[in-house]
Each structure stands twice: as structure tokens, then as C-alpha cells.
Amino acid sequence: MPPPRTRFAPSPTGRVHIGNLRVAIFNWLFARRHGGTFLLRVEDTDRERSTEAACQAVLDALAWTGLEPDEPPLYQSGRQAAHLEAAEALLRSGHAYREDKGGTGRGECVVFRMPGEDIAFEDAVKGRLIKRAADLPDFVLVRSDGHPVFHLANVLDDIAMDVTHVIRGDDHVENTFRHVALYRALGAAPPRFAHLPMIVNAQGKPYAKRDGDAYVGEFRERGYLPEALLNYLALLGWSPGDGREVLTRKELVAAFDLAGVQPSPARFDPVKLDWINGEHMRRLPAEERLAGCVADLRAHGLAEDADPGYLAHVFAIMEDRIKRYIDAAAQTVYFFTEDYPFEEKAVRKRLRRPGALDHLAALRDRFAALPAFDAASLEAALQDLADARGEKAAALIHPTRVAVSGSAAGPGLYVLLETLGRERVLDRLDRVIARERAAAADADGAS
Ligand code: GLU
């Protein structure tokens, strides 16, 4: 195969939907995989929606994801003269005719004369597709107001750009039968077509804004890594076929293959995206990961004057728990302030169970008496107390964690305690024990 030329041909509307970015990604991967060229065509003929800002949003989304086109973008609006000229040529060759649609007297449009035969093409994803001549009526090429329609502009621009592979969403399958007819009438060989499966929500409906974040800018603002979004979107409809799910840009390029694209709808799974994002975060250089997390702390007014060594340590022990930068502050708040929130359910389940406060008070005294406040000593002290009280370690671990962090989940308890340090741990235990005893007394008094 000669080096392919692919293109991303969005109609800019203001924001870039992830479905569109996914189309761009597949085009980019295919071009890169085969040493080809990836192009951008901005289909900006809708003058109301295709503002300069909308076009810029497309460029920004591509730049952020690292999908820079290999040639300057082609703006479709600049090619109107060429489109109209081609329509004239089709009129001359008998492939089109003029008609006053609806007889409104508002002028004539140019209508394409379908060849009156069945049209078939081989789709790289869906296989051979065919449509009967009876289901393929003539269609307008140039409206009576003089504007070329999508089909004409799209096909002519693909020819002008020497596009060899049209990879796009399967909402365009129906259009493609017309496009194939147009190519033939224009004396051009149709490109290869690959129609990508739709992205759907958990209910199997097209994935939209109401299902969650849907625009590239939203993922960017929420601290997703471009590499992770690229990786995840590449897996919507495609897989390398060997079970790998976390792939770098380079690995994606090396593995990509149109033959691996599935025709069935691809379900958008935010949990999996988060997992992939976390995996990519773990692979970043530690300083870069730290900077992203610290930015989120600062955005929440936390850790303004925190010691850099302490910050690095906190995020080192949290490492694989933080899946997005935007979660960093919420997941580590208790390392940076005494004003940390308590999960209601954890308090109910762990602190308000019979005996929990007694255990905590006894543990507090053991911790206070320890010669060294390190993870190993803390563990030995807790285990020893649990044995003395005929309890499992868990009966002490859970309430301790909730008391010092407000949360039911987090890093290993002993590392957590060591990181907080003796003073803060004892203070927090004292405060929580006092507060919970007061609450219990109140509840007793009330009943
Ligand atoms: N502007 C069209 C769209 O965004 C282009 C379709 C195509 O890739 O040919 O759906």
C-alpha cells in the first residue's frame, strides 16, 4: 500500500465532542502506523456555527492530544468557487440538472442525477455494503441560494487533498452511497472507507453531555492526561488484540490496525477511563505527577506553605490511589489541615460501633508511650493491644483510620500515621474521642 493520506474533517461547532476526537485519533493512528500523512480539513461552511473560536477549539483539541496535522489545514469555506465550478462541470457532463425545487421561483438548484443502479462499497469495518437503486434518489448539490451542500464539498475536497482513506463515524454510512456515485461521476476513484462504531452510554444510547463529560475541554479541565484520553478513546471500537489496555502513544501507533476495529457500538466507561488515567499517571516522572497534584491542592487553598519533602512523601505513599489530578486535594486533604471532612458512613460504621472509642483511647496511650513513632513500632503497638483485648487488628485499624483521616480508604494505616506524626495523631485521636463521647452522651440524654 502506498503511504495513506487520512483526514479529520470536523464541522466546528464550538466544542469538540470526544466522539469527534476519537475519529481524529483513528485517522492519526492509521496514518502514523503506515508512514502516511494526517490532514485536517475544517468543514466551516456553516457560517453561523463555524466561528473563529469554534475553529480554534478544533486546533486546540488536536494540539492538546498531540495530533498535529502534517500539512496546513484546509478550510472548506475557501473552496466554494471550486465546488461551484465542479457543479457546472457535472451539469455539462449530464450528471446533474437544474431544477426549481418546489417551484417557488426562488431560483434553481443543481441536482445530482443518480446513475440508476445499485451502489456497493467495501467498508474496512463493516464489510461489503450495498444499497438498491430504488433507495437512492437524486439529491441536491447546490442549493438555490448558491451554496454547495455537504456531499459535494466533502467529496471534492477529499479528491483535492488526495485522501486515500476516509475514516469517520458510522452516522455517515448512508451518505457514502451518494459519495461513491459522485466520485464516479467526477471520474475519480473512491477512497477506502472505514466507518467507526458509535460511542454509546450504559443504556446503549449515543453518548451525550447528559451522560457525563463529553467534550475534550472538560477532560482537560478535570485533569485527565492527554496520553490517557488518547489511549482510552483508541480503545473505543479497537483493541490491539493481545489483551493490552494501557498503551503509550508509540505502542498505539505500532499496534493500530483498521482490521481490529469492531463494528458493534463502543460503550463509554468512565471507570475504565479513570483507571487508564491512573496507570498513565503512575508512569510519569515523579516530579511531573507531583506538580499536577500540588496544583490541585493549591486550587483548593491547601498546602500553601507545605514542606516540599512532606508533599513528595504524601504523594509517594498515595501513588496509585490518585487516578486524576483533580482528585488529589480531596484524597489527601487530611495531610494538610485539621479541618478535614468525615465520611458519614465511615463514622457510623467504624467510630460508633460498641467499644470503638475505648479501643481508641487505649491505643492513644500506647502511641503516646512509644519510643519511636515509625510504621513498624506503630504496627507492633496496635497488634499488641489488639491481642491484649482479644480483638482482631482490624477492630482497631478501622476506627483509627477514620479518626485521623475522616475516610474509610487511604494508604496503609501505619505509613499514614507515621507521615502525620505523633503530635497530630494524638491530637486527632483526643479530639475525635471527646467529640464522639459527647455525641453519644447527647444521644443518650435525648432518648
Ligand atoms: N464534517 C463532517 C462531520 O463532522 C465530516 C464527515 C467526514 O469525515 O467526511 O461529520
Structure confidence by residue, pLDDT tens digits, 233-288: 999 999 999 999 999 999 999 999 999 999 999 999 999 999 999 999 999 998 99
Which atom belonging to ligand 1 lies closest to the Cα atom of 172?
6
Question: Lowest-confidence range among 53-62, 94-103, 123-132, 406-415?
Answer: 94-103
**Smallest CA separation from ligand 1 atom 6, residue:** 9
Q: What is the CATH number of the domain that holds 393?
A: 1.10.10.350
Q: Do 302 and 396 lie in a common domain?
A: no
Q: Do 354 and 387 lie in a common domain?
A: yes
In a domain, 362, yes or no: yes
Best residue for ligand 1 mutational test, from 15, 75, 154, 193 (most atoms within 8 Å of Cβ): 154
10 lines ligand 1 (CB under 6 A): yes
Q: What is the CATH number of the domain that holds 3?
A: 3.40.50.620
Using an 8 Å Cβ cutoff, are 33 and 63 in contact? no
Instruction: Read off the pLDDT of residues 410-425 as tens digits, 9 standing for 90 and up.
Output: 999 999 999 999 999 9
Instruction: Read off the pLDDT of residues 288-347 as tens digits, 9 standing for 90 and up.
Output: 999 999 999 999 999 999 999 999 999 999 978 999 988 999 999 999 999 999 999 999
Q: Do 322 and 386 lie in a common domain?
A: no
168 lines ligand 1 (CB under 6 A): yes
Nearest Cα to Cα of residue 366 among 422, 421, 404: 422
In a domain, 227, yes or no: yes
In a domain, 110, yes or no: no
Which atom belonging to ligand 1 lies closest to the Cα atom of 175?
9
Burial of residue 334, with CB atoms counted within 10 A of its CB: 0-12 exposed, 13-18 middle, 19 or more buried: buried
Q: Do 355 and 424 lie in a common domain?
A: yes
58 lines ligand 1 (CB under 6 A): no
Which atom belonging to ligand 1 lies closest to the Cα atom of 167?
8
Using an 8 Å Cβ cutoff, are 42 and 78 in contact? no
Is 345 among the catalytic positions? no
Mean pLDDT over 105-123 rounds to: 94
Predicted pLDDT of residue 19: 96
Predicted pLDDT of residue 107: 83
% of the chain with per-residue pLDDT over 90? 90
Using an 8 Å Cβ cutoff, are 50 and 44 in contact? yes
Predicted pLDDT of residue 106: 74
Using an 8 Å Cβ cutoff, are 259 and 241 in contact? no
Using an 8 Å Cβ cutoff, are 166 and 158 in contact? yes
435 lines ligand 1 (CB under 6 A): no
Predicted pLDDT of residue 447: 66
Mean pLDDT over 56-83 rounds to: 97
In a domain, 85, yes or no: no
Instruction: Read off the pLDDT of residues 12-52 as tens digits, 9 standing for 90 and up.
Output: 988 999 999 999 999 999 999 999 999 999 999 988 888 99
DSSP for 198-217 reads PEE-TTSSBP-GGGS--BHH
Question: Lowest-confidence range among 81-90, 259-268, 311-320, 370-379?
Answer: 311-320
**Smallest CA separation from ligand 1 atom 10, residue:** 10
Using an 8 Å Cβ cutoff, are 324 and 297 in contact? no
Measured distance CA(70)–CA(39) in Å, rounded: 6
Nearest Cα to Cα of residue 38 among 26, 53, 28, 46: 28
In a domain, 218, yes or no: yes
Query: In the chain, what are the helix, strand and coil shares in percent, each to the nearest 5?
Result: 55, 10, 35
Q: Do 295 and 204 lie in a common domain?
A: no
- Output the pTM of the full model: 0.86
Determine the distance separating the centroid of ligand 1 and the alpha carbon of 158, expressed in angstroms: 11
Report the number of distinct structural domains present in the chain. Answer: 3
Give me the domain span that covers residue 203. 1-71+197-283
Q: Quick count: other Cβ atoms within 10 Å of Cβ 138?
A: 15
Which of 209, 272, 345, 392 is catalytic? The answer is 209
User: Distance from CA of residue 379 to its chain's centroid?
Assistant: 41
Best residue for ligand 1 mutational test, from 18, 166, 168 (most atoms within 8 Å of Cβ): 168
Mean pLDDT over 155-159 rounds to: 98
The three three-digit cell numbers of residue 191, written as one number: 477512497
In a domain, 304, yes or no: yes
9 lines ligand 1 (CB under 6 A): yes
Determine the distance separating the centroid of ligand 1 and the alpha carbon of 65, expressed in angstroms: 19
- What residues have CB less than 8 Å from 298, skipping those under 6 apart? 304
Q: Do 262 and 307 lie in a common domain?
A: no
To which residue does cell 505513599 refer?
Answer: 317
In a domain, 432, yes or no: yes
pLDDT beyond 80 at 446: no
